[in-house]
Chains A and B, each alone.
Chain A
């Protein structure tokens, strides 16, 4: 894996496709496809030496996941987006600062090209998270 990365802030939220896929089945291939992506601007994608669709590793102090890179033409450098779901949660902290609400927005991340790395399935990711891996 490349150790030359790009820093950004990660935000998460609903997308129409994620919402639709969720209703079709959380254990199905469509849901996996829609929640295991990271949307980013063109500059970030090019800085990582990636073509859209290449795997990208997203790391925070809480963990790291490999997801599929996706170009967002409206986006600007500095903010990347993963739809809400297990992949975003895998790198989100649980501290709520006494409010009950974890910080699901604006999480500092580092992005790395992850060519050749595999995106885990939903069950596999769940098992790893439950086991604390």
Chain B
């Protein structure tokens, strides 16, 4: 690839997909990353380090390097002989790889789920119940005069979100310091709460109650209690009045809302609060998507299977059932007998019982880097890092698709996820004939 300076590169870490990175490349190594956050810098400047060795197959507990052809043949053999394949991950790779993963799930009559089932899956369930009131990030910067982060810590999880979108001046907000207020609602005073204009602390697990109380107040009801979720009703009334009085409000919400008690009901209630507020003024809301292309995984899954996650092909046609075909449930019940893991690390992020079952089954792991899943995988295939070593497309948290450029060549004989998956798919087709 071209040595020298690469401008307007899209960052492939979080759902912000910041598209203003400036990279310097020397001898096929990225040497500087201007504009990126601390995590972006770590990702881009260490792209060549800590790579997954292989392709490799584990035999009697010992990992043995093999050729790519042998690794693909082993993966095909494992999948072809599986009774209940689980295809999982996809949030840290590009859209074309997703397509191949869905084809494998369909061919093998397996289940395909993406990491949204353990991040914003409940957001999708809430949206399916109550609709979607999403805005573009540009609109947020240009118009919003009140921004609320609920159960989200952007300073840590999306380090440039505030700088680029909510603390930045826009067309109609010339001075964001005086014309825009930022509030944080959380159970603990996070670093983001420390830099916000107002921090509202609520008791753990009371999001649904607080949102429901706000809805009631916005609709003019009187509450017959003194406080909700640790907040006096007088405070809630004040919050509701300011929300109604905003010219353009935006609610950004994170895993504090989706992973806590209530889960999709929290999101359902939040959407309905936004709908209520739209009787008075303009409000929208947006999930703070974590992995850079988890939003893309939901989009591509919907395009190809009809459903955003938790899709089962056992009957030859796609069926959707979160709670049944979601990865943690499939593993916890001991149902999956093979896991094809792509660009994710369930061994580092799944709870104990689900992880325990991962130790009992064959895992085929595709990833550029070493991770915890690679330690227990039967087949490890190193792949190119999308957005650094191969191109592709990814979807930003507001639904905007962005093209990812290739800036350096991948290591020798290392291919993109989409190519490896296509080889597995072709092998499966051949095995069936």
Report if A and B associate in a common complex: yes
Point out residues on A near B: beta carbons under 8 Å.
9, 11, 13-16, 19-21, 23-28, 62-63, 72, 74-76, 78-79, 81, 84-86, 89-106, 122-123, 126, 129-132
Given contacts A23-B39, A79-B188, A100-B121, contact A130 B358 (CB under 8 A): yes
Instruction: Decide if A126 touches B328 in the complex (CB within 8 Å).
Output: no
Give per-residue flags for B46-80: 1 if the beta carbon is below 8 A from chain A beta carbons, else 0. 10011000000000000000000000000000000
Report A57 CB to chain B, min CB distance, Å: 16
Indicate whether B91 reaches chain A with its CB closer than 8 angstroms: no
Point out residues on B near A: beta carbons under 8 Å.
13, 38-39, 42-43, 46, 49-50, 113, 117-118, 121-122, 125, 153, 155-157, 159, 187-191, 193-194, 201, 204-205, 255-256, 258-261, 263-264, 290, 309-310, 322-324, 326-329, 331-332, 345, 347-356, 358-359, 369-372, 375-376
Report A77 CB to chain B, min CB distance, Å: 11
A14 interface neighbour in B156, B194, B359, B371, Cβ under 8 Å: B156
Instruction: Decide if A102 touches B157 in the complex (CB within 8 Å).
Output: no
Given contacts A13-B153, A96-B323, contact A74 B328 (CB under 8 A): no
Per the bound structure, the CA–CA distance linking A122 and B204 in Å amounts to 29
Per the bound structure, the CA–CA distance linking A131 and B258 in Å amounts to 30
Instruction: Decide if A75 touches B155 in the complex (CB within 8 Å).
Output: no
Instruction: Decide if B258 touches A101 in the complex (CB within 8 Å).
Output: yes
- Looking at A16, A19, A84, A103, the one whose CB has the most chain B CB atoms below 10 A away is A19
Instruction: Decide if B122 touches A101 in the complex (CB within 8 Å).
Output: yes
Instruction: Decide if B50 touches A24 in the complex (CB within 8 Å).
Output: yes
Per the bound structure, the CA–CA distance linking A25 and B53 in Å amounts to 13
Count of A-B residue pairs with CB < 8 Å: 189
Report B59 CB to chain A, min CB distance, Å: 18
Report A-chain residues with C-beta under 8 Å of the C-beta of B290: 14
Given contacts A13-B153, A16-B39, A79-B204, contact A126 B263 (CB under 8 A): no
A27 interface neighbour in B113, B117, B359, B370, Cβ under 8 Å: B370
A94 interface neighbour in B122, B189, B349, B351, Cβ under 8 Å: B351
Given contacts A20-B42, A25-B50, A126-B372, contact A89 B351 (CB under 8 A): yes
Instruction: Decide if A103 touches B376 in the complex (CB within 8 Å).
Output: no
9 A-B interface contacts by CB (under 8 A) = A14-B156, A19-B13, A19-B42, A23-B43, A24-B49, A81-B188, A99-B125, A101-B117, A105-B204
Instruction: Decide if B49 touches A25 in the complex (CB within 8 Å).
Output: yes
Instruction: Decide if B359 touches A131 in the complex (CB within 8 Å).
Output: yes
B322 interface neighbour in A9, A99, A131, Cβ under 8 Å: A99
Report A-chain residues with C-beta under 8 Å of the C-beta of B153: 13-14
Per the bound structure, the CA–CA distance linking A92 and B372 in Å amounts to 17
Given contacts A26-B370, A84-B349, A86-B348, contact A20 B328 (CB under 8 A): no
Report A-chain residues with C-beta under 8 Å of the C-beta of B351: 62, 89, 92-94, 102, 104
Instruction: Decide if B157 touches A103 in the complex (CB within 8 Å).
Output: no
Instruction: Decide if B372 touches A122 in the complex (CB within 8 Å).
Output: yes
Instruction: Decide if B39 touches A26 in the complex (CB within 8 Å).
Output: no
Instruction: Decide if A100 touches B50 in the complex (CB within 8 Å).
Output: no
Report B312 CB to chain A, min CB distance, Å: 13
Instruction: Decide if A9 touches B310 in the complex (CB within 8 Å).
Output: no
Per the bound structure, the CA–CA distance linking A122 and B118 in Å amounts to 21
Instruction: Decide if A100 touches B326 in the complex (CB within 8 Å).
Output: yes
